[in-house]
Amino acid sequence: MPHIIIEATASAISLVDPQTLTRTLHEAACGIDSYPKPGVRTRLHVLEHFRLADGSPDAGFVHVNIRIGTGFSTEARRAAAEALANQLSALFAPYLAATPIALSVEVTELDVTTRVNRSNVAQVLTARTAGA
Protein backbone atom coordinates (compact mmCIF):
# COMPACT_ATOMS: atom_id res chain seq x y z
CA MET A 1 0.00 0.00 0.00
CA PRO A 2 -0.53 2.61 -1.35
CA HIS A 3 -1.87 1.87 -4.78
CA ILE A 4 -1.42 4.66 -7.31
CA ILE A 5 -4.06 4.27 -10.01
CA ILE A 6 -3.71 6.61 -12.96
CA GLU A 7 -6.48 7.10 -15.50
CA ALA A 8 -5.37 9.11 -18.50
CA THR A 9 -6.95 9.86 -21.82
CA ALA A 10 -5.11 8.86 -24.95
CA SER A 11 -4.87 12.57 -25.79
CA ALA A 12 -3.00 13.23 -22.52
CA ILE A 13 -0.68 10.29 -23.10
CA SER A 14 0.15 11.70 -26.52
CA LEU A 15 1.71 14.64 -24.65
CA VAL A 16 3.59 12.85 -21.87
CA ASP A 17 5.25 9.48 -22.28
CA PRO A 18 3.32 6.84 -20.30
CA GLN A 19 6.50 5.36 -18.79
CA THR A 20 7.61 8.81 -17.66
CA LEU A 21 4.19 9.52 -16.15
CA THR A 22 4.08 6.20 -14.31
CA ARG A 23 7.69 6.39 -13.10
CA THR A 24 7.41 10.01 -11.95
CA LEU A 25 4.28 9.41 -9.87
CA HIS A 26 5.61 6.11 -8.51
CA GLU A 27 8.83 7.78 -7.38
CA ALA A 28 6.87 10.64 -5.82
CA ALA A 29 4.80 8.13 -3.83
CA CYS A 30 7.96 6.28 -2.77
CA GLY A 31 9.31 9.60 -1.52
CA ILE A 32 6.49 9.99 0.99
CA ASP A 33 7.99 9.01 4.35
CA SER A 34 4.88 7.40 5.77
CA TYR A 35 4.42 5.05 2.79
CA PRO A 36 6.15 1.66 3.02
CA LYS A 37 8.17 1.36 -0.21
CA PRO A 38 7.48 -2.37 -0.81
CA GLY A 39 3.76 -1.60 -0.80
CA VAL A 40 3.74 1.11 -3.46
CA ARG A 41 2.08 -0.13 -6.64
CA THR A 42 1.51 2.13 -9.61
CA ARG A 43 -0.57 1.39 -12.67
CA LEU A 44 -1.81 3.35 -15.64
CA HIS A 45 -5.06 2.86 -17.51
CA VAL A 46 -5.17 4.67 -20.84
CA LEU A 47 -8.67 5.62 -21.91
CA GLU A 48 -9.23 5.43 -25.64
CA HIS A 49 -12.92 6.26 -25.43
CA PHE A 50 -13.92 9.36 -23.49
CA ARG A 51 -15.66 12.71 -23.79
CA LEU A 52 -14.54 15.87 -22.07
CA ALA A 53 -16.33 19.22 -22.02
CA ASP A 54 -17.20 20.21 -25.60
CA GLY A 55 -15.74 17.01 -27.08
CA SER A 56 -12.64 18.66 -28.57
CA PRO A 57 -10.31 15.89 -29.75
CA ASP A 58 -7.27 17.44 -28.07
CA ALA A 59 -8.98 17.76 -24.69
CA GLY A 60 -7.86 15.28 -22.07
CA PHE A 61 -7.49 14.47 -18.44
CA VAL A 62 -5.34 12.61 -15.97
CA HIS A 63 -6.91 11.47 -12.74
CA VAL A 64 -4.79 9.88 -10.01
CA ASN A 65 -6.35 7.92 -7.17
CA ILE A 66 -4.05 7.17 -4.24
CA ARG A 67 -5.62 4.23 -2.42
CA ILE A 68 -4.24 3.79 1.10
CA GLY A 69 -5.05 1.94 4.28
CA THR A 70 -6.63 3.60 7.27
CA GLY A 71 -4.78 5.51 9.94
CA PHE A 72 -3.35 8.40 7.95
CA SER A 73 -4.19 11.87 9.21
CA THR A 74 -6.04 14.35 7.02
CA GLU A 75 -2.83 16.36 6.80
CA ALA A 76 -0.83 13.31 5.63
CA ARG A 77 -3.45 12.44 3.02
CA ARG A 78 -3.53 16.03 1.76
CA ALA A 79 0.28 16.22 1.64
CA ALA A 80 0.40 13.03 -0.44
CA ALA A 81 -2.20 14.39 -2.85
CA GLU A 82 -0.28 17.66 -3.17
CA ALA A 83 3.05 15.87 -3.75
CA LEU A 84 1.66 13.85 -6.64
CA ALA A 85 -0.34 16.79 -8.01
CA ASN A 86 2.84 18.87 -8.09
CA GLN A 87 4.64 16.20 -10.11
CA LEU A 88 1.66 15.80 -12.43
CA SER A 89 1.46 19.55 -13.00
CA ALA A 90 5.17 19.74 -13.74
CA LEU A 91 4.91 17.00 -16.36
CA PHE A 92 2.05 18.73 -18.18
CA ALA A 93 3.21 22.34 -17.67
CA PRO A 94 4.49 22.75 -21.24
CA TYR A 95 1.02 21.97 -22.62
CA LEU A 96 -1.29 23.82 -20.24
CA ALA A 97 -1.35 27.13 -22.10
CA ALA A 98 -2.76 25.70 -25.33
CA THR A 99 -4.25 22.29 -24.52
CA PRO A 100 -7.48 21.75 -22.56
CA ILE A 101 -6.47 19.25 -19.91
CA ALA A 102 -7.80 18.47 -16.44
CA LEU A 103 -5.40 17.13 -13.80
CA SER A 104 -6.67 15.72 -10.52
CA VAL A 105 -5.45 13.69 -7.56
CA GLU A 106 -7.51 12.18 -4.75
CA VAL A 107 -6.77 9.97 -1.78
CA THR A 108 -9.15 7.13 -0.97
CA GLU A 109 -8.94 4.94 2.12
CA LEU A 110 -9.34 1.21 1.57
CA ASP A 111 -11.79 -0.66 3.75
CA VAL A 112 -9.43 -2.96 5.63
CA THR A 113 -12.31 -5.04 6.96
CA THR A 114 -13.23 -6.28 3.49
CA ARG A 115 -9.80 -6.29 1.83
CA VAL A 116 -7.76 -9.46 1.48
CA ASN A 117 -4.08 -9.07 0.67
CA ARG A 118 -1.48 -11.78 0.21
CA SER A 119 1.95 -10.54 -0.75
CA ASN A 120 5.53 -11.64 -0.37
CA VAL A 121 7.02 -8.47 -1.91
CA ALA A 122 8.48 -7.08 1.34
CA GLN A 123 10.06 -10.42 2.28
CA VAL A 124 11.59 -10.97 -1.16
CA LEU A 125 12.96 -7.42 -1.35
CA THR A 126 14.43 -7.75 2.14
CA ALA A 127 16.06 -11.08 1.21
CA ARG A 128 17.47 -9.57 -2.00
CA THR A 129 18.94 -6.66 -0.08
CA ALA A 130 20.48 -8.97 2.53
CA GLY A 131 21.98 -11.18 -0.18
CA ALA A 132 23.52 -8.32 -2.16
Q: Sketch out the chain's domains with CATH numbers.
A: 3-131 (3.30.429.10)
Q: What is the distance between the alpha carbons of residues 11 and 52, in angstroms, rounded to a whole number?
A: 11
Over residues 3-35, the pLDDT tens digits come to: 999 999 999 999 999 999 999 999 999 988 777
Higher pLDDT, 121 or 12: 12
85 pLDDT higher than 80:
yes
DSSP string for 58-88: T-EEEEEEEEE-S---HHHHHHHHHHHHHHH
Q: Which residues have C-beta within 8 Å of that of residue 88, sequence separation ≥ 6?
A: 25, 62, 64, 103, 105
Higher pLDDT residue, 59 or 126? 59
Each residue of 46-56: pLDDT tens digit?
Answer: 999 998 889 88
% residues pLDDT > 90 (the chain): 61
What pLDDT does 119 receive? 82
pLDDT given at position 1: 62
Task: Tell me the average pLDDT across 59-63.
Answer: 96
